[in-house]
Amino acid sequence: MTAAVDGVEYAPHELDRDATFYVAGHRGLVGSAIVRKLESSGFENVVGKTSAELDLKDRDAVFAYMAEAKPKYVVLAAAKVGGILANSTYPVDFLSDNMRIQVNVLDAALKNDVERVLFLGSSCIYPKFAEQPIREDSLLTGHLEPTNDAYAIAKIAGILQTQAVRRQYGLPWISAMPTNLYGPNDNFSPKGSHVLPALIRRYDEAAKAGASSVTNWGTGTPRREFLHADDMAAACLHLMEHYDGPDQVNVGTGSDVTIREIAETIARVTGFAGETEWDTSKPDGTPQKLLDVSKLAEAGWTASISLEEGMERTVAWYRDHVDTIRE
């Protein structure tokens, strides 16, 4: 199928199933979903390294690994990642670690002639008060949300590096900007996680303990768009096979909910029957973050896992893995 994005036709570019495919961050929420998707799509040689085996902040080690593994394709799904509190408490780490990880991986990929790279950014790259739904061309048109501006600047630098490689070397590297994601292998730590895993854990623990109330952060009024990691992985492979433009592509569902609404859904799915309270001393973050996904739709991909189904699957996964989740 030929895809026409912004009036430019892209012929399908089927990836070689026998080639080495390096998924940086292969144990994480997104990386593990990409590994599942690649393996179920016939890729025979998907490789990855844990951060203990290969610290991507270590430039020499990254160059040595890339020279040895010689991947033909790379997805960069390794990053320092966290929710609103972690981002606003440790901005230097989110800026510095992510700049180093991405510069090392992208430079080493260039040195080793990696044919196709997918860089993953985040919807927080867009201005805090961007017009909704947020189009790709609103990048750099306004001020960032202060709770994650340091992380966002690192991600913007990654997009620019991908575009610069295209301009200077003509390589077909691309980048995708996911909305808020969730699913198996997420970070469920109460202080470090994003809202959805935090609420699954809080409501599940409260339901099991028979608690009369739970307290969430902020006012509950911000709106967020949630995409299941398996959909994200499918979108990544689709883009690598059907898109070859310089602009970053938004990846989301095209619809959003309030935090209060998602809390009600999680309460229902976990069986929590008590009251929900809101701690307004905690930050709300950006009031709304809904991506315009028309470029992705033009490229031929739309999400298929509903929020209700994705929540049920994730709560079930969490309950099965509660003893081994990362803290």
Ligand X SMILES: NC(=O)C1=CN([C@@H]2O[C@H](COP(=O)(O)OP(=O)(O)OC[C@H]3O[C@@H](n4cnc5c(N)ncnc54)[C@H](OP(=O)(O)O)[C@@H]3O)[C@@H](O)[C@H]2O)C=CC1
Ligand Y SMILES: C[C@H]1O[C@H](OP(=O)(O)OP(=O)(O)OC[C@H]2O[C@@H](n3cnc4c(=O)[nH]c(N)nc43)[C@H](O)[C@@H]2O)[C@@H](O)[C@@H](O)C1=O
**Residue 127 is a binding residue for ligand Y (CB under 6 A):** no
**Residue 83 is a binding residue for ligand Y (CB under 6 A):** yes
User: What are the structure tokens assigned to 239, written together?
Assistant: 């883009």
**Residue 21 is a binding residue for ligand Y (CB under 6 A):** no
Distance in Å, CB of 30 to ligand X, minimum? 4
**Residue 194 is a binding residue for ligand Y (CB under 6 A):** yes
Report the distance separating Cα 45 and Cα 17, nearest Å.
8
Report the distance separating Cα 284 and Cα 317, nearest Å.
28
Q: Which is nearer to ligand Y, 193 or 248 (CB)?
A: 193
Distance in Å, CB of 75 to ligand X, minimum? 9
Count CB-CB contacts under 10 A for residue 279: 10
Count CB-CB contacts under 10 A for residue 286: 22
Name the site residues for ligand X (rule: CB under 6 A): 25, 27-31, 50-51, 54-57, 77-81, 101, 120, 122, 178, 180-181, 187, 194
Distance in Å, CB of 213 to ligand X, minimum? 27
151 is catalytic: yes
Beta bridge partners of 227: 181
Q: Which among ligand X, ligand Y, none contacts residue 217 (Cβ within 5 to 8 A by kind)?
A: ligand Y
- The three-state secondary structure class of 143 is coil
**Length, in residues, of the chain:** 327
Q: Which among ligand Y, ligand X, none contacts residue 285 (Cβ within 5 to 8 A by kind)?
A: ligand Y
Q: Which among ligand X, ligand Y, none contacts residue 125 (Cβ within 5 to 8 A by kind)?
A: none
User: What are the structure tokens assigned to 240, written together?
Assistant: 């690598």
Distance (Å) of CA 120 to CA 23, 176, 181, 195, 261:
11, 5, 12, 20, 28
Q: Which is nearer to ligand X, 158 or 245 (CB)?
A: 158
Report the distance separating Cα 194 and Cα 182, nearest Å.
9
Q: Which among ligand X, ligand Y, none contacts residue 77 (Cβ within 5 to 8 A by kind)?
A: ligand X
**Residue 87 is a binding residue for ligand Y (CB under 6 A):** yes
DSSP state of 53: T
Buried-exposed string 135-148: b where 16+ CB fall within 10 A, e elsewhere: bbebbeeeebbebb
Active site residues: 151
Residues that bind ligand Y (CB under 6 A): 82-85, 87, 122, 124, 147-148, 151, 180, 193-195, 198, 216-218, 222, 224, 259, 282-285
